[in-house]
Amino acid sequence: LQRLAQRDADGVAQLTLPQFMEHVVPEAKTYAVVVQLTALDPEYKCDTCRAVDRSVRAVARGWRRQTRARQIAFGTLDVAHGEELFRSMGIDKIPRLMIFPPGASPRELKLSARTSSAAGMAARLGELFGVEMQPDEPADYAKYAGGAAATLGAAYLGWVVVRRLSLRMLVRNAWAAGSIVFVLLMTSGLMWNRINAPPFMGQTRSGDAVLFAPTNSQQFGVEPQIVASAYAACALCVVLLVRHVPRVPGDQRPLVTVAVLAALVLVYSYLNSVFRQKMPAYPLRLLLP
């Protein structure tokens, strides 16, 4: 298995089904194996698989640099090579991260928003194996550049606002904006995500993304973002109708009013559709099914 891992630039052995059965499954081995069961071929369109693969590779690179690298090995079994095994094990959702310790039965490391990241995965594996693991993640220069640009933009915007507005008005508007953002986040399900750390989104058996969990007792990480955006859009439409539409010139006012009302109705209909999708007994419906 170590020879297989050495063939890979990141130290992750690319396993076929016979190699998996020979090097990973037997309990008599003297090393532990962390195997991702995945589908990386583009035909499966599994973005989550590729994200988890990047995390596994970062953890494997970091572990390979440590002195006890031979105690734990990393591998990948793709559905292209292990479809028969996936079917016999009843695996209908991927990716999955399995741990095969020496002299013990395998166990699954549940993937969540935390453990799908390289840092979270390394921390959880370190807890399970009783060692310290540090991922080797490449620097994300685009992220740093974006953060710097956003910081500079916010600083410039703040400078312009301070110059043009009085301090009293600035504090009042900042308090109002902060209150609105807080209300939108709290009513969209953000705290549930912070407590339960669900996956960012789901997927079908064919690998297509699923944005909403089909029950009101569960949700994906992306749901609060969508719901909060829809709430914000509804609030913006109401503000436009009350504050800005009356100031529009007379010949254009009816057209603007209809456009804002149409946007409000469409967004509200979408919210009702989402609620009905998660709870079929939800009584309200407008336009969308």
Alpha carbons 34 and 67: distance in angstroms, whole number: 18
Alpha carbons 190 and 187: distance in angstroms, whole number: 8
Tell me the per-residue pLDDT of 54-100, one tens digit each, with 9 for 90 and over. 889 889 988 888 765 568 889 998 888 887 888 777 777 788 898 99
The model's confidence at residue 262, banded by pLDDT at 50, 70 and 90, is very high
The model's confidence at residue 140, banded by pLDDT at 50, 70 and 90, is low
pLDDT of residue 135: 86
- pLDDT average, residue stretch 116-134: 86
Q: Is the pTM of this model over 0.95?
A: no
**Exposed e or buried b per residue across 140-170, where buried means at least 16 C-beta atoms within 10 angstroms of its C-beta:** eeeeeeeeeeeeeeeeeeeeeeeeeeeeeee
Is the pLDDT at 245 greater than 80? The verdict is yes
Largest CA distance in the chain: 84
Token couple for 152? 């500079």
- Greater model confidence, 68 or 168: 168
